Chains A and B, each alone.
Chain A
């Protein structure tokens, strides 16, 4: 039978250490909504999502109440819209209308984000995929809850450098279109390499074409719990350190598994995966940076940061894998600068640079995330950053992503304010040398060799 100390430990994690379930995300396939008539397509999308997701938020709230665990976000992902709109959309405005339908339906069912305004162009773009990408500046400025992503490369296909160059330009255009809110449109746009089909986290989540009609995916979190557990391992060797992280990750993930199974049962929708990610928020004590500092760094960005992050990421996975029947999504530690107080401090002090963050993305679950850069940065330089990050993903067979925010009208030394969970970020300096001739070559980088791994 349970003892009082175990019960106290769980409630301490929830109340003092900010343990929560970060998101219950319902993936919904829109493949059967396809029509060559835009109005019919929009009606079909509206009906399908409202039918499946009408009880998502209330069910999430009931689970929160029954188990006493906060479930911070309830969200929806849909099939990449470039596919769904292909036969009905003739111009950029047609795609924007679909984005508006998604925004409306998200507001009606009460979710704060809906992901899947996406195009998967890892080898090449169709004309309609190009239209969706070109619609991003308008789509992201006229909607509030729509999240977009573009997959520009993969280990199997190489990198579509035409898409990379186009995304460099589009990121800048999105910034200009949302200049009045510190270019926050880019907080809802992720450029991926090796994007997963079942990611429950935003802004990069979409419901892949390999998925079923509907699915429940759950993202767990809990950097505060890991940091508190590590206080007991101060001064101990790496064996003790890793064991502590692993045990904690196991406990956190078990809560996610329970919530996922319960949500799946109550909503009558199959359970997909648990995403084992340490996802920070701007709240004090909910920081991945703080975990890295607890491991032994004076500040994130110091030598040793990449190694500390590598072991953290790996132990989170090792602990979490046994706690869940199905693990997927991104699974690891997120390092979004603007959403993590210790990362914000380290970036503001100059200890954490974009180059160090790039190294960190080689061993963590995502990539250059929520990084504010000067608004005057050129499209070619942004494309260069995307290409670098994609190359890391392609060669290392892992997901990488870029969510950089060129903040119009701001420069190094200024702060960008995005508000809420998206936080605030110091504008970080970007290498000023040009890569224009490299980006302007056009075409595609071939898929890498799969042996001779050195």
Chain B
């Protein structure tokens, strides 16, 4: 399993999760968990995905999701999970 964390930050709008999930399903990345909250007035969504079987290179997924975020008007980041587990888990 290769886990990545996708975060969406910005103004809440209809269909953000749907569009991200559509992209992920088209490219065979499996969504393991989704959570969302409001931090400092901004919509924050986090997805944990497994990209081990994806038909795309990880770097392309990062770039595609960033482009999708630009289209919707939110910030979408996709990062490998280890930077978060490294920092927050001993």
A and B found bound together: yes
Query: How far is it, in angstroms, between the C-alpha of A9 and the C-alpha of B84 when the chains are bound?
Result: 9
List of A residues within 8 angstroms of B84 by Cβ: 2, 6-7, 10
Say whether A68 contacts B77, CB under 8 Å.
Answer: yes
Q: Of A42-50, A164-172, A250-258, which binds chain B? A: A250-258
- Name the CB-closest residue of A to B77: A68
Say whether A68 contacts B82, CB under 8 Å.
Answer: no
Say whether A2 contacts B7, CB under 8 Å.
Answer: no
Query: Which residue of B48, B83, B86, B87 is within 8 Å of A68 (Cβ)?
Result: B83
CB-defined A-B contacts under 8 Å, sample of 8: A2-B5, A4-B37, A4-B46, A66-B79, A66-B80, A68-B77, A68-B78, A258-B83
List of A residues within 8 angstroms of B62 by Cβ: 65-66, 68
Say whether A1 contacts B33, CB under 8 Å.
Answer: yes
- Name the CB-closest residue of B to A257: B86
Q: A1-B48, A66-B59, A66-B62 are in contact. Are A254 and B79 (CB under 8 A)?
A: no
Interface residues of B (CB under 8 A from A): 5, 7, 9, 33, 35-37, 39, 44, 46, 48, 58-59, 62, 77-88
Residues of A in contact (CB 8 Å), total 22
Interface residues of A in 102-138 (CB under 8 A from B): none
Residue among B33, B39, B79, B86 with max Cβ neighbours from chain A (10 Å): B86
- Main secondary structure, interface of A, reads helix
Q: A8-B39, A10-B84, A68-B83 are in contact. Are A2 and B48 (CB under 8 A)?
A: yes
Interface residues of A in 37-86 (CB under 8 A from B): 62, 65-69
Residue interface bits A1-44, CB-to-B below 8 A is 1, else 0: 11111111111000000000000000000000000000000000
List of B residues within 8 angstroms of A4 by Cβ: 35-37, 44, 46
List of B residues within 8 angstroms of A9 by Cβ: 88
Q: A251-B87, A257-B86 are in contact. Are A3 and B80 (CB under 8 A)?
A: no
List of A residues within 8 angstroms of B7 by Cβ: 7-8, 11
Say whether B48 contacts A67, CB under 8 Å.
Answer: no
Q: Shortest beta-carbon distance, B32 to chain A, in Å? A: 8
Query: How far is it, in angstroms, between the C-alpha of A69 and the C-alpha of B79 when the chains are bound?
Result: 9
- Name the CB-closest residue of A to B34: A4
Say whether B35 contacts A255, CB under 8 Å.
Answer: no
Q: Shortest beta-carbon distance, B60 to chain A, in Å? A: 10
Query: How far is it, in angstroms, between the C-alpha of A6 and the C-alpha of B48 when the chains are bound?
Result: 13
Query: How far is it, in angstroms, between the C-alpha of A420 and the C-alpha of B80 when the chains are bound?
Result: 31
List of B residues within 8 angstroms of A257 by Cβ: 86
Q: Shortest beta-carbon distance, A276 to chain B, in Å? A: 15
Say whether A255 contacts B83, CB under 8 Å.
Answer: yes
Q: Shortest beta-carbon distance, B61 to chain A, in Å? A: 10
Q: Shortest beta-carbon distance, A73 to chain B, in Å? A: 19
Query: How far is it, in angstroms, between the C-alpha of A9 and the C-alpha of B46 when the chains are bound?
Result: 13
- Name the CB-closest residue of B to A63: B80
Q: Shortest beta-carbon distance, A356 to chain B, in Å? A: 35
Q: A8-B44, A66-B58 are in contact. Are A2 and B88 (CB under 8 A)?
A: yes
Say whether B44 contacts A2, CB under 8 Å.
Answer: no
Q: A7-B46, A8-B44, A67-B80 are in contact. Are A258 and B86 (CB under 8 A)?
A: yes
Query: Which residue of A2, A5, A11, A69 is within 8 Å of B85 (Cβ)?
Result: A2
